[in-house]
Amino acid sequence: DSGVTQTPKHLITATGQRVTLRCSPRSGDLSVYWYQQSLDQGLQFLIQYYNGEERAKGNILERFSAQQFPDLHSELNLSSLELGDSALYFCASTKAGGQYNEQFFGPGTRLTVL
Amino acid sequence: DQQVKQNSPSLSVQEGRISILNCDYTNSMFDYFLWYKKYPAEGPTFLISISSIKDKNEDGRFTVFLNKSAKHLSLHIVPSQPGDSAVYFCAASSSTSGTYKYIFGTGTRLKVLA
Q: Which amino acid is at B50?
A: I
Put simply, the answer to whether B43 touches A106 (Cβ < 8 Å) is yes
pLDDT at residue A56, rounded to an integer: 87
Closest residue to B105, CB basis, from A42, A90, A106? A42
pLDDT digits (tens, 9 = 90+) for A37-80: 987 778 899 999 999 999 888 889 999 999 999 999 999 999 99
B100 Cα to chain A: minimum distance (Å): 5
Query: What is the C-alpha R_g of chain B?
Result: 14
Helices then strands (H, E): number in chain B?
A: 0, 11
pLDDT digits (tens, 9 = 90+) for B90-107: 999 887 766 667 889 999
Give CA–CA dist B28/A109, Å, rounded: 33
Which residues of chain A are within 8 Å of residue B34 when distances are taken between CB atoms?
102
The answer to whether residue A97 scores a pLDDT higher than 90 is no
Give CA–CA dist A76/A68, Å, rounded: 9
Average pLDDT estimate for A71-100: 90
Whether the upstream peptide bond of residue A25 has omega within 30° of 0, thus cis, is no
Which residues of chain A are within 8 Å of residue B51 when distances are taken between CB atoms?
100
Q: Evaluate whether A106 touches A92 at the Cβ level (below 8 Å).
A: yes
Closest residue to A105, CB basis, from B45, B98, B105? B45
Answer whether A42 touches B (CB < 8 Å): yes
> Secondary structure of chain A: what % helix, strand, coil (to 5)?
5, 50, 45
Answer whether B43 touches A (CB < 8 Å): yes
